Amino acid sequence: MKQFIAFVRKEFFHVLRDRRTLLILFGMPIAQILIFGFALTNEVKDSEILVVDYAKDDASQQIITEIAASRYFNIRNAALTHKEMLSTFQKGKIKAVIVFPASFNRYLLHNNQAQIQVITDATDINTANMITNYLTAIIKDYQAKINENLLVPYQIIPETRMLYNPQLKGAHGFVPGVMALVLMLVSVMMTAISIVREKEMGTMEILLVSPFKPVLVIFAKAFPYLILSLINVTAILFLSVFALDLPVKGSLLLLFLESTLFIITCLALGIFISIKTDSQQIAMLISLMGMLLPTMMFSGFLFPIENMPVPLQVISNIIPSKWFYIIVKSIMIKGLGIGSLWKETLILAGMTLFLLTVSLKSFKIRLQ
């Protein structure tokens, strides 16, 4: 036990004395949360909208006021010809143009029908779609308002509710994703590198020729990264609650327990990589290419798994981060408990057990 503690302490010295390691360990998660939270958002916020109002009557003004009141749009007024409009689009400054034809209100009142033209920049399909949706919603609202006292004979009003994320905040999807990503990176890559470093430096040779059990060497190497990863989890949750306004709906304890399970899965993977490689570079490459990429692609965090071809959907099942992503999302956003997550937890636990067994089986107590 004393040996184990000495070993763990030594490991902390290594981490704390290497500025680059520290940066990866703690700078990366914070940077990722902030980048995903504020820069790489797919929400439509403060989009520049150009209003070309040829009508300048009651109805058009009321609709414009409604649009301006929404925090999604910044409104600018201009009277432009069709040609000028196109050149403004090409400059890329505006996302959409709304055109009210002359006598808009008159058409509305006398013909019972009026048209508004909405032109969007579809270079970015998602943004264009979303802007159109928002604008249509606002216009429909207005329509409902003026029809309030009228009896429309046949009418279906869809009542939609966005469950768990009514404001459609982007943070909901990526915080669990970043968590899976960061834990994968820290636990797999750092553990693999730190064990391979002992091989590369030759210290493994001395450690093997000592009464210290070789398997304990591996556990002692992995243990500090378990603690550091848990600190990372705490930091990410802290940021998500206080910087991104995304509270943890479910049990915090359960979230930490599940994170610990996933970290152990990653550590086992890291140990396995370290056993199979002999240089830090190769260990890093394998960790990055073999772990990070699948995590990004198959966890469902960037691309929905349901939309993938079936073979890829099958492959996604063997990626531990997929299950962890589901678990974290369910606990944080839906507030589910272990009762609804036992299946995913069991799968993750099975993977951990398998990886640990394989790693320990392939661990060599000699150099060859």
Partner 1 sequence: MEAVVVENITKTYGKGKVLAVDNVSFSVNKGELFGLIGPDGAGKTSIFRMLTTLLLPDEGSATVDGFNVVTDFKQIRSSVGYMPGKFSLYQDLTIEENLNFFATVFGTTVTENYHLIQDIYVQIEPFKKRRAGKLSGGMKQKLALCCALIHKPTTLFLDEPTTGVDPVSRKEFWEMLRRLKKQGITIIVSTPYMDEAALCDRIALIQNGKILSIDTPDNVTRSYPANLYAIKANEMYRLLKSLETFPDRLNSYAFGEYAHATFRSEKLDTAHLEHFLTDKGLSGIEIKRIPATIEDSFIKLLN
Using CB under 8 A as the binding rule, the residues of this chain from 208 to 227 that contact partner 1 are 208-212
Using CB under 8 A as the binding rule, the residues of this chain from 294 to 333 that contact partner 1 are none
Q: Between 217 and 239, whose beta carbon lies closer to partner 1?
A: 217
Q: Between 112 and 368, whose beta carbon lies closer to partner 1?
A: 368
Q: Between 45 and 213, whose beta carbon lies closer to partner 1?
A: 213
User: Tokens 């994968």 correspond to what residue?
Assistant: 184
Determine if 17 is a binding residue for partner 1 (CB under 8 A): yes
Determine if 12 is a binding residue for partner 1 (CB under 8 A): no
Determine if 18 is a binding residue for partner 1 (CB under 8 A): yes
Q: Between 11 and 258, whose beta carbon lies closer to partner 1?
A: 11
Determine if 366 is a binding residue for partner 1 (CB under 8 A): yes
DSSP assignment letter at 365: S
Contact with partner 1 (CB under 8 A) among 77, 117, 133, 203 = 203
| Residue 191 beta carbon to partner 1: minimum distance, rounded to whole angstroms | 17
Determine if 13 is a binding residue for partner 1 (CB under 8 A): yes
Answer yes or no: are the C-beta atoms of 233 and 331 closer than 8 Å: no
Helix (H, G, I), strand (E, B) or coil at 174: helix
Determine if 365 is a binding residue for partner 1 (CB under 8 A): yes
Which residue pairs from 128-133 have beta carbons closer than 8 angstroms and sit at least 24 positions apart in sequence?
A: 128/95, 128/96, 130/44, 131/44, 131/47, 131/49, 131/72, 131/95, 131/96, 132/96
Q: Of the ranges 169-177, 201-209, 296-304, 305-313, which one interacts with partner 1 (CB under 8 A)?
A: 201-209
Q: Of the ranges 14-22, 136-144, 185-193, 235-243, which one interacts with partner 1 (CB under 8 A)?
A: 14-22
Closest CA to 222 of 180, 179, 264: 264
Answer yes or no: are the C-beta atoms of 366 and 208 closer than 8 Å: yes
Q: How many chain residues bind partner 1 (CB under 8 A)?
A: 24
What lies within 8 Å, CB to CB, of 127 at 6+ separation is 42, 44, 47, 95, 120, 121
Neighbours of 58 (CB within 10 A): 12
What lies within 8 Å, CB to CB, of 347 at 6+ separation is 323
Determine if 207 is a binding residue for partner 1 (CB under 8 A): yes
Neighbours of 217 (CB within 10 A): 21
List interacting residues with partner 1 (CB under 8 A). Answer: 2-3, 6-7, 10, 13-14, 17-18, 201-203, 205-212, 365-368
